[in-house]
Structure 1
Amino acid sequence: MIFGHDTEAALQAAVALVNSDGDPDALTTVQAVDAWYAEHRYTGRRDRDERELEELRALRPVLRDLFTTDRDRAAGLVNDMLAEAGALPQLVRHGDEDWHLHAIGTDAPLARRVIVEVAMAMVDVVRLDEMSRLSLCADENCRGVVLDLTRNRSRRFCSTACANRNAVAAYRARKNR
C-alpha cells in the first residue's frame, strides 16, 4: 500500500467521479449518485436532490485539473480547497473503519465533503512527491484519469475497456504487418 487506506479510498472515489464525465455521461441522475456513494462507502449527509447532483458534477473539472497539474500548483489548489471549506482535520472512527482522518463534519454537503477528502488525500500525494501516480488514460480517444497504485507504476489505462480496446488494436496491427 502506497498511501493510507483513507487516502487511496478518497483518490479512487474522486477518479471515478472525474471519469463519470465521459461519453455517455455516467452521472446524470440522483440514482447514479446513490450508486457512486455506496460503491465508495461514503457516510454522512445526503440530500438526494438535483442540487447535490449538480454540485458533484461541477466538481469533475476541478478534480481533473487537480489530478493533471504539476506538484507546485496542486499544493496551491489543495491549500485553497481546504481553506474555502474551513477544514479542521480530526481523527474519527465509524462503522468498520479504524481511526482515520476527516477534515469536515458529516453534516456538510456531500460535494464539500468530497472536495475536502480529496484535498486531504492530495496532501499525501504532494508530500510524498507521487504526482506521477495520476495521469491521463493512454487511450488516445479517452479523457479518463488514471490512478496508478501498482508497485511498478505500470497502469496506463483508466479502465479495462480502454486497456482491452488498445490490446486488440495492437494485436490487429501486428497481425496485419
Structure 2
Amino acid sequence: MLFAHDTEVALAAAADLVNTAQDGGDALGDVVGLHGFVARWSYTGSRGDAEEELAAVRALRDRLRRLWELDEDGVAAEVNAMLRESRALPQLVAHDDWGYHLHATAPDAPLADRMAVEAAMALVDVVRSGELARLRVCPAPGCGDVIVDLSRNRSRRYCSTSCANRVNVAAFRARRAGEGPA
C-alpha cells in the first residue's frame, strides 16, 4: 500500500467525483445521482437541503478537476485554501467497519465541505510524499477522465481497460494499414 487506506479511498473518491462530468454527460445531473455517489463512497455525517448540496458538490467537482492540472505549488495553495475555508480540524475517529482514520470536519458540516476536506487531506499526503505525478489525465483521445495511479511502479496510463483497448486497437490498425500487401 502506497498511502494509508483512507488516503487511497479519498483520492479514488475525488477522481470519481471529477469523472462524473465526463463524456458530455453528468452523473450528478440530479439529486438521485448525488445520493448514489454518496452511498457508493460511504460518506457519513448529516445531510442538508438536497438541491443546495448538489450545487455545492458540483462546484467542488470543478475545483477538484483543476487540481489535476496544477503544479506542486498550485496544488499546495489550493489544498491549503480548501482546508482553511472548511475550518479543518484533523482528528482520529473510528466508525462502521473502519478502524481509526482521519476526519477533519464535524459530522454536521455541509456535505461538500466534508468531501473537499477528505480530498484535501489525501492530497496533503500526495504532496508531502512527492507523488503528485500519480495524478494524471487519461491520454486516450476523447476521454479526459482523471486517474490516480496507485500502482507500485507508476505504470497506469489509462483510466480504464476500455480506453487502453481503444488506443491499442487503433495503434494496431494503424500499423497494419502501413504494412501494405504481404
Q: Same fold (TM over 0.5)?
A: yes
Aligned-partner Cα distance in 2 for 1:87–1:44: 15
> What amino acid is aligned across from residue 69 of structure 2 in structure 1?
T
Structure 2: gaps of 5 or more residues: none
Aligned-partner Cα distance in 1 for 2:167–2:4: 32
Structure 2 counterpart of 1:21:
21
Structure 2 counterpart of 1:50:
51
Aligned-partner Cα distance in 2 for 1:142–1:60: 17
Asked whether the 8 Å contact 1:88–1:103 carries over to 2, the reply is: yes
Asked whether the 8 Å contact 1:30–1:48 carries over to 2, the reply is: no
Per-residue deviation, 1:142? 1.7
Structure 2 counterpart of 1:7:
7
Aligned-partner Cα distance in 2 for 1:120–1:58: 18
Structure 1 counterpart of 2:117:
116
Per-residue deviation, 1:8? 0.6
Aligned-partner Cα distance in 2 for 1:26–1:171: 33
State which drifts further: 59-68 or 127-136: 59-68
Output the TM-score relative to the length of structure 1. 0.95
**Alpha-carbon RMSD:** 1.3
Change (3 A) 1:150 1:48: farther
Per-residue deviation, 1:59? 1.1
> What amino acid is aligned across from residue 166 of structure 1 in structure 2?
V
The 5-angstrom pairing of residues 1-177 of structure 1 reads 1-22=1-22, 23-47=24-48, 49-177=50-178
Per-residue deviation, 1:161? 2.6
Output the TM-score relative to the length of structure 2. 0.92
Per-residue deviation, 1:171? 2.2
Aligned-partner Cα distance in 1 for 2:25–2:162: 14
Change (3 A) 1:47 1:91: same
Aligned-partner Cα distance in 1 for 2:54–2:170: 36
Give the number of equivalent residue pairs: 177
Per-residue deviation, 1:51? 1.4
| Residues 81-123 of structure 1, C-alpha deviations (whole Å, 9 max, x = no match) | 1111110000000000000000001111110001111111111
Describe the SS at the equivalent of 2:99.
strand
Structure 1: gaps of 5 or more residues: none
Per-residue deviation, 1:163? 1.9
Per-residue deviation, 1:69? 0.8
Aligned-partner Cα distance in 2 for 1:3–1:79: 20
Per-residue deviation, 1:19? 0.7
Per-residue deviation, 1:48? 6.0
Asked whether the 8 Å contact 1:135–1:145 carries over to 2, the reply is: yes
State which drifts further: 148-157 or 90-99: 148-157
